[in-house]
Amino acid sequence: MLHKYKPRDFAQFLDLFDREVIDDQGEPLLIRKCEDLFFERLTGLLPMYVKEMTNPQLIRSLEVCVARNLGSQRLYDHYFYDTIEKTVLQYNFEIYSRMVRALAQKQFAEDYVFWEKYVFKYVYFDPRKQSERSFTPQEAKKLWDTMVFLKLKCPTIDIKDVLSQLEKYMEYT
């Protein structure tokens, strides 16, 4: 039955069944309305949809799969990572930050080419302007924090040059 839905619908299924809501004290409440078996079945269908998903849908699906510890290695290697490689330079700042944090949570550190050639290239190059990417001080600080989070979760990844690039845009007071 789910196979007749569109990628947009599929991403909404994931949001519907795995959503974080903030309580009165500002603490996140994780609302899970179904069993993990249902999510396993959904992730079995993900390969049909990943190539057609928009960037926000792709990253939200990645976040849910990582948070729920779902999906096969094949799903990550041949669908999520492959699609990220092709589209990472098109991400907006927020989507990029969420993607790096999700990959850090997954502790994906084995593929150095993936990080150096694709993911970290975002910090240096903007394909829309065909020039060096620039950030506001707030964006640079948030990305710097994201990269430090990545280093904490994946200590073997070298982020020294990326941090130096981001520090060019940060204001120090």
77-81, 126-130, 169-173: segment of lowest average pLDDT = 169-173
The Cα 60–Cα 112 span in angstroms is 23
| pLDDT of the residue at 7 | 59
- Give the pLDDT band (50/70/90) at residue 33: low
Where are any strands of DSSP class E within the chain?
18-22, 28-32, 125-126, 131-132
Examine the pLDDT at 2 and tell me if it is beyond 50: no
* Pairing assessment for the beta strands 131-132 and 125-126 based on DSSP bridges: antiparallel
| pLDDT of the residue at 75 | 92
Examine the pLDDT at 10 and tell me if it is beyond 80: no
Handedness of CA 37, 41, 47, 51 (dihedral sign): negative
* pLDDT tens digits, 46-93: 888 888 889 998 998 899 889 888 888 999 999 999 999 999 999 999
**H or E segment at 79?**
none
